[in-house]
Amino acid sequence: MKLKARMASAIIAAAALVTVGLITAPPAASAQLTEVTGFGTNPTNLRMHLYVPDGVAARPALLVAVHYCTGSGPAFYSGTEFASLADRHKFIVVYPSATRSGSCFDVSSPQSLTHNGGSDPVGIVSMVRYVQQRYNADPERTYVTGASSGGMMTNVLIGAYPDVFKAGASFMGVPFGCFATTDGSSWNSTCANGQLIKTAQQWGDQVRAAYPGYSGARPRMQIWHGTEDATLRYPNFQEQIKQWTNVHGLSQTPSLTDQPRSGWTRTRYGGTGTKAPVEAISLQGVGHSLPQGGMAAMVIDFFGLSEGGTDPTPTITPTVTPPAGACQVTYQMNTWNTGFTAAVTIANTSTTALSSWSLAFTLPAGQSVTSAWNASISPSSGQVTARNVSYNGAIAPGASASFGFQATHGGNTGKPPAFTLNGTACTS
């Protein structure tokens, strides 16, 4: 007990020295998700997790990745491809965690919708400032993305803090201010159901009112939404387009319309290139289940993080992702009346070694993972991502890695239709 007391006293003393600046807090462990405390003003007691890849540059870019309701920063880390993309392109990722009941972020209160007004956005901005100070992160390359509640928070942050974020990418979000309430509640059914329709000017005015007097550049915006979203319904997609084209002073007539994949319709406003001021991707037949495999890589392209550095000329960077068709997945099932096990093998058929892997696939309806080995899998159903564990991340050319999982089913014993490895399609 005396030893424990002395250890506790030493920890408290060290924390006090950090507070007054007499010693420097150690950085987050490289290539590990690390929780950071005491990062600055945090009125709603958000938690902060930080991912710093090996070999980060002296002036790295920073991405804030914001989770969905019921989620957490670690869950969003495990269930999305942003960390593996950070390994490849050498940017830092911050994963905030909401702590209120339901684990949703505040996107509705007057405080959250006002620059420096308080609530969750202030805590998230404190996380950004912390990383900029401790890791010399580049304020000119600071971005935010999120899904569902995190997609709504992405709209809030680029609306109220255009001086902090240079671009945002919202999955399944709603316009800035759409969820606004004044009665203390956090849910706005009218907005969620896609029934809050305004003119582009009205939506733009809401953003401008969040930071009166601001005259600087406005963040670019990428918007993703499925046509069958039953939680934050599809009309919110067009309302976001109206809002952000107005904020940028653009026409709602696209400069480019194309279909990067079957069922996807992409429109760009104010430019035809990858970094247009506003880009929107509509996903036919897709519900409230984003992002899916490969989408994170398109977010990184939109931000310009795949180019490496601030030079507008793309540079060639080392890759750990095989080219299309240079990976093969074998998926074997053993089924019984209510469940099954799956044995999965990833073969690296390219000439490039993998240092880590993230395999995304969609489980058929009714299937749900209950346990896994040799990989972490998140979420448990729908679009899932299996990530390597500490001992099996490396796959040499011609070699393979295997993992497995147990799952339940409701009668559908089909196999996933496709697989993407680190954002690239595999044969199966």
Please, where are the H alpha helices in 161-287? 189-192, 200-210, 235-247
Cβ 99 vs Cβ 47: under 8 Å? yes
Please write the tens of the pLDDT for every residue from 100-151: 988 999 999 999 999 999 999 999 999 999 999 999 999 999 999 999 999 9
Distance CA 93, CA 48 (A): 11
Q: Residue 376 is which amino acid?
A: S
Burial class (CB in 10 A: 0-12, 13-18, 19+), 101: exposed
Cβ 329 vs Cβ 395: under 8 Å? no
| Residue 30: band (very low, low, confident or very high) from pLDDT cuts 50, 70, 90 | low
Per-chain mean pLDDT for the chain: 86
pLDDT value at position 420? 83
Distance CA 222, CA 147 (A): 12
Please write the tens of the pLDDT for every residue from 34-56: 999 999 999 999 999 999 999 99
Respond yes or no: is residue 378 known to be catalytic.
no
pLDDT value at position 304? 95
Cβ 287 vs Cβ 229: under 8 Å? yes
pLDDT: which is higher, 77 or 334: 77
Please write the tens of the pLDDT for every residue from 253-306: 999 999 989 899 999 999 999 999 999 999 999 999 999 989 999 999 999 999
Q: Give yes or no for residue 387 having a pLDDT over 50.
A: yes
Instruction: Select which of 108, 109, 126, 148 is catalytic.
Output: 148
Q: Give yes or no for residue 318 having a pLDDT over 60.
A: no
Which of 362, 238, 365, 226 has its CA nearest to residue 284? 226
- Its pTM surpasses 0.75: no
pLDDT value at position 310? 38
